[in-house]
Structure 1
Amino acid sequence: MTRLRSVARPFVASPGTGVCIRDRIKGLTAGDEVVLRTVGEHLGRLASADLACRVRDGLDHDSDRWADRKRDLTASSSSRWAGSITKATHDQWGLARRAQHAHAQSLTAGVRTIRDRLCLPVGEPGRSGQPGGYRSRQEWHAKSRRLTVLEARLAAVEADRAAGHVSVVRGGKRLLNKRHNLNAAGLTEAQWRHEWEATRWFLSADGESGKRCGNETIRVTLDGEVSLRLPAPLTHLANAPHGRYVLTGRVTFGHRGHEWGDRVEANRAVAYRIHHNPGKDRWYLDASWQRKDTTVILLETLRAGEVIGVDMNADHLAAWRLDTHGNPTGKPRTFAYDLTGTATRRDAQVRHALTRLLHWAKQSGVKAIAVEDLDFTDSKTREQHGRRKRFRQLVSGMPTSRLRTRLLAMTAEAGIAVIAVDPAYTSRWGAQHWQKPTSTPTHKTTRHEAAAIAIGRRALGHQIRRRTTPPRQHQTDAAGHRTLQAGSGTPGREEAGHPGPGPRTRSVPPTRSTYAGNQATQHRSGPPTDQDTVLLSV
């Protein structure tokens, strides 16, 4: 018998508190672009040097060393520019450190899986969901060589982690690798160089509450005027008092512009980032701030109303609305997206699908959406699934992190809560208990739609298994318990129920029998059968 893993309790996900909006800076002159390129290139060199210094410090870095780095940068820029650079360096080093830890965990899982399978005889089948031995001696030999490679990689990663050394590329490793094969990337050397330099520029400033318009370094007024404080070596380029340069171009935020305007008018902190798109030759401005007025609703409160269960797939979202009792109502919905093309297009596809989902939830009056708490970090490895390349590609294609981030941010704005549930057995049990009963002659319920029902029921606190249909009135007592519904504390309550065997005497009826056979000797209205006349002593 296969042992099922324990199912974690659902929880309400914390809503997104960060807000970021973007708009194009229109009407820039050639002089404005020269100043922006010069400032971005100067601060980019300082940011690269500061990041290299932080990587060299490793685990020996402390607050005093941070203050020394900021003091060295202030002489070549300003105290505010230095603060933004050191903070960005700290965040980038921390992100690389977390990625290094995740890579070590993936290597550890691969080494453990290969070791376990090498210890098994060749050709031994797997048991209880665990992989068995390898299929042939050739595969066993190849995996033993791969084990040596993974162990060497793991040792190198663990050594770097113990020393606090991380590998970081300002501008991105993917763009750096394009330089080695420009033909495949469809770029010339000049185009790649222009994109590489633009990515490494630094034009970001943190907000300050109480300062004019919420930012003293990059200031944006309500009428869209953009000005920036020039670094100390570049003050000769200023066209305004106090070493500032005012751009000719203007920016107007159409999306959430009223929220941004309220913060600017109240002099509340707003962070800005100016960046250049070499492909379109356009300049953009990002404005971001943090909201602290979001509240988390209790799970018991959300369970008192309806919930929409959402099953995430590689190319669509399958959703179904459930009432408070866990019964599906209405028709299921499918929100498709296409994750091909550029990163911007993929992000737009995900955002559009989530927008349609939230519009449907608001029209239905639903206050909560149930999703699976997915994390496919370990499931993508070739050691975990072996030859199942199509399944690995399917899992890798699911935008789990992008969907999770976008969903939390968009639901917080729409006033809808997100309930995260354990993804264990939702697809299997959903198809087993709900796919056939919910199918109609005009609509065939898919496995993903049935999984959406299972996700919603788990979020509401109900078992995934449906109540067993009670027998007809003349086959049992009307006042007795007419279902096989298990209690909330019963182990294995989400598994399929099976009848227990009855006693082996004909004088005592069986305790229960769902799959009853010949009922001639029970509930009979005619004469007894022949076997009832046979003596027990024979």
Structure 2
Amino acid sequence: MGGLRELAAPFVALGPSGVAVRDRLKHLTAEDEHVLRLVGDHLGTVASRDLKARCAVGLDHDAGGWAARKRAVTGVSSSRWAGSITKATHDQWALARRSQLAHLQSLEAGVRMIAHRLSLPVGEKGTKHAPGGYASRREWHAKARRLHVLTDRLQAVRADWEAGRVRVVRGGKRLLNTRHHLEAARLTEEQWRTRWQAERRFLQADGESGKRFGNETIRVTPDGEVSLKLPAPLAYLANAPHGRYVLASRVAFAHRGVEWADRISANRAVAYRIHEDPARGRWYLTASWTTPVVRTVPLATVRAGGVVGVDTNADHLAAWRLDTHGNPVGAPRRFGYDLTGTAAHRDAQIRHALTGLLHWARRHHLALAIEDLDFTGEATREKHGRRKRFRTLVSGMPVARLRARLVSMAAALGIPVVAVDPAYTSRWGAQHWQQPLTTANRKATRHDAAAVAIGRRALGHPVRRRTAPPPHDRSDRAGHRTVQAPPGIPGREGPRPRIPGPRTRSVRAGRGAKAGDQDTQHRSRCPAEHESWQQDPLPLSI
């Protein structure tokens, strides 16, 4: 047990900090689409220049530089568009910076792991905590060459990190690389160009509280009328006063529409984004706003009614209901999903599985207990070597998507989510719970046992199941009496204390010794051997 790492304490996960809803812009005229493309292309060009200026500054960026960039953008658009463009540029640079740090850490881990395996003799077996040497001299030589490649990449990325250089592509690096593989993507050059231009357009505006309907740049009225402020060079396209263009389409948000209407009626900030989907030939409007941070429910309150332990797997969620004492109740449940096919299909599968899980938990008024998983450092081929199937299994688990979806959907239903440390839950769950939970009519799986272990950890109980005390006449051979008391209680694995009161045995109340008292054993010169017996005069009903 000395090699086990310290476990983190469970905590109640915070709810979502924002809301985003989307509706289709139907019945747009040809002129509406033409104006949207012109405005989006113009602002996209301005945003690209601003991003280039921001990347050139690097780590020397300050408030004065931001103000200078905003003044430059205002001259070719408007002050409101300039604020949205410069903020979006700042956020994109910050995201690229975080991604660069994650790539740097991944390269460092790969270099460190390959160097460790190269230092071991060829064919040496590994352990549970660290892989062994490479299987053959040929693999050793190939990994030695790869070590040099990764070292060169690491030096280049570290130099960029220290200098503050980031590499950003407006429109996405994946779509840019698709240009060189049009046949594999089943796209023509014209189709790719249409998608590329659509992704590089800029038609988004941040909201501002106190302004009319929460946004002066892209305004949506309560009856669904959409209008936008035209940039100064395109003001001649206006069909409404004050340089505005009103679209022929009307929007009506089916999801959270009442909440959206309450916000714009109170002139609270709402951000909007207009986006074209060239593959379907449709235009969409996305409305988003931030929500105040809600105070989480205390952990003690969440534990009061029991929890549902949830084990995340590559193709299903294994769940088991536990009472407040950590005992499994009822039968285990399984919510499956299929992660093959398109991204929309995978997302729908996850939402369907989470919906079933959350509705089941709400019927029983229970909280959810789930592992705080992060497999970013465990999916590298440098650590797991030729275990391609295992790497594929780990990489295929929708950890990030499940986490985001679960917290958001649970918050909407008012179900608390408790995150626990994932260490050893599968191993200890199978060791202590899989066999006891298996019956003639039900075979408990390793995932079911892990769900029980996760639920017990969320409730504050040890994963090890409660064992019955050994016979009192064999306490020396059977060991400790019980482990039912919570951790931290002195003597929780010692003998049970004597309970005062009348007894049905021959020894009077208060005279009997504890099971661990050696005087109760039949040994020479023990008082139990020579003590006389006398009937208790008190009735047993008292």
TM-score, scaled relative to structure 1:
0.88
- Whether the 8 Å CA contact 1:3–1:128 is kept in 2: the answer is no
**Aligned pair 1:374/2:378, yes or no?**
no
Aligned to 1:98: 98
Q: Report the alpha carbon displacement of residue 244 of structure 1 after superposing the two structures with TM.
A: 0.4
Aligned to 1:501: none
**Aligned pair 1:404/2:409, yes or no?**
no
Q: Report the alpha carbon displacement of residue 442 of structure 1 after superposing the two structures with TM.
A: 2.4
Determine helix, strand or coil for the equivalent of 2:123. Answer: coil
**Aligned pair 1:238/2:238, yes or no?**
yes
**Aligned pair 1:365/2:386, yes or no?**
no
Aligned to 1:290: 290
Q: How do 1:378-457 and structure 2 match up within 5 A?
A: 378-457=377-456
Aligned to 2:300: 300
The amino acid across from 1:342 in the alignment is T
Aligned to 1:125: 125
Q: Residues of 2 paired with 1:208 and 1:228: CA distance?
A: 15
- Whether the 8 Å CA contact 2:369–2:419 is kept in 1: the answer is yes
Aligned to 1:323: 323
Task: Tell me the alpha carbon deviations over residues 333-361 of structure 1, each in whole angstroms, 9 at most, x when there is no partner.
Answer: 21112222222222222222212211111
Task: Tell me the alpha carbon deviations over residues 169-188 of structure 1, each in whole angstroms, 9 at most, x when there is no partner.
Answer: 11111111111111110111
The amino acid across from 1:241 in the alignment is P
Q: Residues of 2 paired with 1:285 and 1:382: CA distance?
A: 41
Aligned to 1:165: 165
Aligned to 1:503: none
Q: Residues of 2 paired with 1:484 and 1:415: CA distance?
A: 35
**Structure 2 residues without counterparts, runs of 5 or longer:** 494-515, 518-522, 524-542
Q: Residues of 2 paired with 1:188 and 1:490: CA distance?
A: 71
Aligned to 2:339: 339
- Whether the 8 Å CA contact 1:47–1:89 is kept in 2: the answer is yes
Aligned to 2:462: 463
Q: Report the alpha carbon displacement of residue 59 of structure 1 after superposing the two structures with TM.
A: 0.7
Q: Report the alpha carbon displacement of residue 127 of structure 1 after superposing the two structures with TM.
A: 3.9
Aligned to 2:266: 266
Determine helix, strand or coil for the equivalent of 1:483. Answer: coil
- Whether the 8 Å CA contact 2:432–2:464 is kept in 1: the answer is yes
Q: Residues of 2 paired with 1:295 and 1:349: CA distance?
A: 31
The amino acid across from 1:121 in the alignment is P
Q: Which moved more, 1:188-197 or 1:437-446?
A: 437-446
Q: Residues of 2 paired with 1:83 and 1:408: CA distance?
A: 31
Query: Does the C-alpha gap of structure 1 residues 128 and 71 become closer, same or farther in structure 2, counting only changes over 3 Å?
Result: same
Aligned to 1:526: none
Provide the alpha-carbon RMSD of the alignment: 2.2
Aligned to 2:528: none
Q: Which moved more, 1:153-162 or 1:398-407?
A: 398-407
The amino acid across from 1:283 in the alignment is W
Q: Which moved more, 1:275-284 or 1:122-131?
A: 122-131
Q: Report the alpha carbon displacement of residue 462 of structure 1 after superposing the two structures with TM.
A: 0.5
Task: Tell me the alpha carbon deviations over residues 288-325 of structure 1, each in whole angstroms, 9 at most, x when there is no partner.
Answer: 11111522112222122211111111111111111111
Task: Tell me the alpha carbon deviations over residues 246-280 of structure 1, each in whole angstroms, 9 at most, x when there is no partner.
Answer: 10011100111000010011111100001011111
Determine helix, strand or coil for the equivalent of 2:169. Answer: coil
Aligned to 2:177: 177
Q: Residues of 2 paired with 1:242 and 1:314: CA distance?
A: 55
The amino acid across from 1:434 in the alignment is W
Task: Tell me the alpha carbon deviations over residues 206-226 of structure 1, each in whole angstroms, 9 at most, x when there is no partner.
Answer: 011011111100111111100
Determine helix, strand or coil for the equivalent of 1:437. Answer: coil
Q: Report the alpha carbon displacement of residue 447 of structure 1 after superposing the two structures with TM.
A: 1.2
Q: Which moved more, 1:175-184 or 1:131-140?
A: 131-140
Q: Residues of 2 paired with 1:242 and 1:342: CA distance?
A: 44
Q: Residues of 1 paired with 2:123 and 2:280: CA distance?
A: 57
Aligned to 1:488: 487
Determine helix, strand or coil for the equivalent of 2:403. Answer: helix
Q: Residues of 1 paired with 2:97 and 2:295: CA distance?
A: 31
Determine helix, strand or coil for the equivalent of 1:434. Answer: helix
Aligned to 1:254: 254
Q: Which moved more, 1:96-105 or 1:128-137?
A: 128-137
Determine helix, strand or coil for the equivalent of 2:434. Answer: coil
Aligned to 2:57: 57
- Whether the 8 Å CA contact 2:461–2:486 is kept in 1: the answer is no
- Whether the 8 Å CA contact 2:206–2:272 is kept in 1: the answer is yes
The amino acid across from 2:184 in the alignment is A
The amino acid across from 1:325 in the alignment is H
Q: Residues of 1 paired with 2:480 and 2:117: CA distance?
A: 49
Aligned to 2:539: none
- Whether the 8 Å CA contact 1:378–1:384 is kept in 2: the answer is no
The amino acid across from 1:21 in the alignment is V
TM-score, scaled relative to structure 2:
0.87
Percentage of identical aligned residues: 68
- Whether the 8 Å CA contact 1:429–1:465 is kept in 2: the answer is yes
Q: Report the alpha carbon displacement of residue 136 of structure 1 after superposing the two structures with TM.
A: 2.4
Task: Tell me the alpha carbon deviations over residues 73-124 of structure 1, each in whole angstroms, 9 at most, x when there is no partner.
Answer: 0011111111111111111111111111011111111111111222222232
Query: Does the C-alpha gap of structure 1 residues 487 and 335 become closer, same or farther in structure 2, counting only changes over 3 Å?
Result: closer
Q: Residues of 2 paired with 1:331 and 1:419: CA distance?
A: 21
Q: How do 1:89-238 and structure 2 match up within 5 A?
A: 89-127=89-127, 129-238=129-238
- Whether the 8 Å CA contact 1:198–1:276 is kept in 2: the answer is yes
- Whether the 8 Å CA contact 2:305–2:365 is kept in 1: the answer is no
Q: Residues of 2 paired with 1:145 and 1:74: CA distance?
A: 52
Query: Does the C-alpha gap of structure 1 residues 153 and 420 become closer, same or farther in structure 2, counting only changes over 3 Å?
Result: same
- Whether the 8 Å CA contact 1:12–1:298 is kept in 2: the answer is yes
Q: Residues of 2 paired with 1:149 and 1:272: CA distance?
A: 44
Task: Tell me the alpha carbon deviations over residues 489-519 of structure 1, each in whole angstroms, 9 at most, x when there is no partner.
Answer: 499x99xxxxxxxxxxxxxxxx99xxxxxxx
Q: Report the alpha carbon displacement of residue 3 of structure 1 after superposing the two structures with TM.
A: 1.9
- Whether the 8 Å CA contact 2:203–2:274 is kept in 1: the answer is yes
